Structures are given as structure tokens and as C-alpha cells.
A and B are shown apart, each in its own frame.
Chain A
């Protein structure tokens, strides 16, 4: 074990290195991070014994690891924003073919307008692909979650791609001290990949068959694997803690929820800011807590409902929008609470396109939630830090 100060992207590359993938494929633009640059250097320097396939697009990057995973080797890719959108068709096929590829989804928004700023719009577009989505709060968690992701993906009860989602810029480009684990210890946690099926002339299987009659069963098989992943994610997080003494939550993590009247629900790097805000608000006598959603797919509705059962109101922050509907995370939380004894839910949209989410932003959400409680009227949606005066229509 050693500790070094490094960029979030480098922390991911270090995590991937100790997971020993055999094939890495990536396309660097649209927009990319330093993850795949660092990995190519590791391969060039002989620190990582892997084939690195440089491709013509993110579509080909996902396709190349699709081929390598089906041929029986641990495979990895990474992308962001437009690149993730370009991968979508392949990711559906990858999940349907049950290939345990791990990818990093560096969260950035999507065009138009064109920008490189962070929010969750990109990975939300991948929500229904069948890819497991794990969101992280900081770079150390990103490091740990990538190691956990391979173990989860490759479990024969799961066999689904896993995407580790981390906020662009805020995490990928900021420096933190990162605890790097020893290779031997990682090897003991994450053994070699044993494929269930593989392309092999000695056992000629057909991959990617055409189906009509069986489609519903195959889709449900993916769903049931997602359901099984709920307990597996928790077990793997606990096992990781036993070996590495680090824990970031299982499906969710809770912060000061036990006596909280207002519980904030969010994903990703804002959790750090939320914790500071909660500490400040509590000195002012406001009983606030946080549920960090670590696993967005599978969605831990029951866990969240359990965590907020004593709260009087829940405020969910989304860093993206389903245009014409609202915040996707809030929608999922509301759906999880339907037909249950549960507190009312206030949906807050904030932080889109990289707009700063500060302690003041959090204070506004909490104030709105308290006001809603007082008046008994919950607004459909709350646009926090929104500037309506600039709009033409």
C-alpha cells in the first residue's frame, strides 16, 4: 500500500492497472479524460501487460471490447458525454450478450449546446441499456469501485457490463491523495476472469443469434441478474472493506439520516458538498441527512425507502433532465415510494452543465423542502439556481 497525490483520472488508471485487463480499447475524443492516456503509457512502459486497441470511434471502442470479452479475456474501455452516446447501441448488445466489460463513464453533459462541462445527462441516456451503473463521490471511491466492478461484472450470477460513473472535471481533473493497493492483495480479492462461454474453435458456440419468441425471457434474464446484483454489490463492498479497510457504501450510503427531518438524495461528487452543508445546517439546528445513491442501476428503491422512513420530507437532486418529464433520480425515488408509507418527495434540478453546487445551493433545497412541509404543498419540480430572466421563450 502507498499513498500518492494524483488526478482522479490517474487514480482510475492505477485501479485498472491492478485489475490486469488483457484488452483495452478506447477512442480519445468527444471528450476524453486522461484515463486512457495514462493506461496507454502504462502499456507502453510495460507496467501493464495488455493489448491496447486504438480505434476510429467510441462505437468501435465498445465493439472491440465486445469481441475481446466474448473471446474470454478481461476487457476495459472508458468514455464520456458524446462518446458514451455513440456507444449506446453496442452497450445494449453487450448487456444482452452478457459480456462483463467494465467501463468508466466520465459524466459530462451532451450537445447541444456543445460544451465539455459536467453533469449526468450522458449516463442517464444509458440508463436502460442493461449496464450496471455505479456512481462515486470521490477519486478514492472511484479507485475502489473499479476493482469492485470487475468482481461484480464477472460473477457468473451477474455477467453484465458495469460502468463506474464519475463526475468529469470535478473528480477526473482534481488532485487528491490516493491510497494505492498492493497487487497481491488485489489479486486475492479479484481472481482471474473465468468466462462462462467464449469463442473457441474447440467448442463452436454461436453468439448474437436472432430471436423472436425468446426476447422477453432474455430481457427478463438481464433484469433478474440486475436484481441479484443488489445483494452482490453489498457483499462485494463489505469484502473490499475487510481486505482494504475502505468502505463507501453498498447500494447506498447514509449520512446522519437517523434523526433527520429532511433527507437529501443525490449521486456523485456533490455528496462531498452535501456533507459540508449538512454539518453547517445542523449547527443551525436544522436536522438534515443524506442518502448517497451509489448504485443507480440496479436501483435500490427499498434501501432508500428504509433509509428515509423517519424523515418528514425528501429532496432529490438531479444533475440532468428527462426533458418533458423531470429529474430521472427523483422519478425513480418517487416510483420506489409509490404504494408505500413514505415521506413526500421534492424534485430539485441543479448543477447542470457544470454550474457550481455550493452549500448555498443545498441550503435553498432544504429551505424549499421545509416550506413545502409547512404549507403542505409539494411543487412538481424545483429549479434551483435557475435564471428565468435570460430566456427568450
Chain B
């Protein structure tokens, strides 16, 4: 249903799973200490901290690699996406 004035609801871009854009896949390793720097730098709002660890939502991660590049502990490794 198209709303008058092309007004739309908040946050519905979640319907658009951008994970399939990915060619490289970040993997969080045991070196992660949950500092959260990757979360602040992630353009795609797809990293959260759970139990002091970075957790990546692969439904949306586009695989840019900023998280791996900025991690002060080198705790994120970029691997070829096989899915």
C-alpha cells in the first residue's frame, strides 16, 4: 500500500538482506576482547557486542573489511566467502 506523500515507516531496510553482496567474510577469532571499535566503525550496522565479544550479523555484512583493518588486536580475519 503506497502512502500519501511517499511517507514510509522507520527501519524497514532490514527487509533488504545485503549479506549476499559479500565476497569476503569477516571471522571474529578468540583474540577479540570486546573493545567495540569494530562496532563503531561498521558502516552496515551489523556488529553487536555480546558477552564482550563482537558478533557479526551475516544477513547484512557486506564484507568491506573495515572491522578487520581497524581491530587493534587483529582479532578479525577476512576469508573468502564460500556461501
A residues with a Cβ closer than 8 A to B are 96-99, 159, 196-197, 204-209, 211, 214, 217-218, 221
Contacts of B2 in A (CB 8 A): 214, 217-218, 221
Q: Are A206 and B8 in contact (CB under 8 A)?
A: yes
Contact among B4, B8, B9, B10 for A221, CB-based, below 8 A? B4
The CA of A206 and the CA of B4, in the complex, are separated in Å by: 12
Count B-side interface residues using an 8 Å CB cutoff.
Answer: 9
What chain B residues lie within 8 Å of A217 (beta carbons)? 2
B9:A206 contact, CB within 8 angstroms: yes
Q: Does the CB pair A99–B5 fall under 8 Å?
A: yes
Report the minimal beta-carbon distance from A297 to chain B, rounded to whole angstroms: 18
Q: Is B40 an interface residue (CB 8 A)?
A: no
Contact between A98 and B4 (Cβ–Cβ < 8 Å)?
yes
Expressed in whole angstroms, the Cα–Cα distance for A185 and B3 within the complex equals 34
In the A-B complex, list the 6 residue pairs whose CB atoms are closest, starting with the nearest: A98-B5, A204-B10, A97-B5, A206-B8, A197-B7, A98-B4
Min CB distance A236 to B, Å, is 20
Q: How far in angstroms is the closest Cβ of chain B from A216? A: 10
The answer on a CB contact under 8 Å between B7 and A205 is yes
A96 touches B5 (CB 8 A): yes
B83 CB-CB contact with A under 8 Å? no
Question: In the complex the two chains form, what is the Cα distance from A205 to B6 in whole Å?
Answer: 10
The residues of B that contact A207 with a CB separation of less than 8 Å are 5, 7
Docked-complex contact A159 and B10, CB < 8 angstroms? no
Flag if B9 contacts A218 (CB, 8 Å): no
Query: What is the chain B residue whose CB lies nearest that of A215?
Result: B6
Q: How far is the CA of A209 from the CA of B12 in the complex (A)?
A: 12
Residues of A within 8 A of B10 (CB): 204-206
B13 nearest CB neighbor, chain A only: A206
A98–B3 alpha-carbon span in the complex (Å) = 10
Contact B6 A211 (CB under 8 A): yes
Cα A98 to Cα B7 in complex, Å, equals: 9
Residue-wise, chain B 19-62 has the 8 Å CB interface mask toward A (1 for contact) of 00000000000000000000000000000000000000000000
A1 to chain B, nearest CB (A): 37
Residue of A nearest to B11 (CB): A204
In angstroms, Cα B7 to Cα A207, docked, is: 5
CB-CB nearest in chain B for A99: B5
Q: Which residue of B lies closest to A199 (CB)?
A: B7
CA distance A99 to B7 in the complex (A): 11
- Which residues from chain A contact B8 at a C-beta distance below 8 Å? 205-206, 209
Question: What's the least CB distance linking A357 to chain B, in Å?
Answer: 40
How many Å lie between the Cα of A99 and that of B6 in the bound state? Answer: 11
Q: CA–CA, A43 to B61, complex, Å?
A: 54
Chain A positions within 8 Å of B7 at CB level: 97, 197, 205-207, 209
Residues of A within 8 A of B5 (CB): 96-99, 159, 196-197, 207
Q: How far is the CB of A286 from chain B (nearest CB, A)?
A: 49
In the bound complex, residues from chain A placing their C-beta under 8 Å from that of B3 are 197
**Per-residue CB proximity of B70-82 to A under 8 Å, as 1/0?**
0000000000000
Q: Which of A159, A208, A209, A214 contacts B4 (CB 8 A)?
A: A159
Residue of B2, B3, B7 with most chain A CB atoms under a 10 A cut-off:
B7
Report B1 CB to chain A, min CB distance, Å: 10
What distance in Å separates the Cβ of A210 from its nearest Cβ neighbour in chain B? 9
CB distance from A163 to the nearest CB of B (A): 18
List residues of chain B with CB within 8 A of the CB of A98: 4-5
* Cα–Cα, bound, A214→B7 (Å): 12
CA distance A151 to B19 in the complex (A): 49
Q: How far is the CB of B26 from chain A (nearest CB, A)?
A: 29
- For this complex, 5 residue pairs linking A to B, each with C-beta atoms less than 8 Å apart, are A96-B6, A205-B10, A209-B6, A218-B6, A221-B4
Q: B residues within 8 A CB of A99? A: 5
Cα A98 to Cα B10 in complex, Å, equals: 19
Bound form: Cα–Cα A225–B3 in Å = 13
| Residues in B neighbouring A97, C-beta threshold 8 A | 5-7
Shortest distance between the CB of A242 and any CB in chain B (Å)? 29
CB distance from A387 to the nearest CB of B (A): 48
B73 → A minimal CB distance (Å):
36
Shortest CB-to-CB span from B12 to chain A, Å, is 9
Give Cα A98 to B5, complex, Å: 5
* Separation of A140 and B8 alpha carbons in the complex (Å): 41
Q: Taking each of B3, B4, B9, B10, which has the highest tally of chain A beta carbons within 10 Å of its own beta carbon?
A: B4
Chain B residue at smallest Cβ distance from A98 = B5
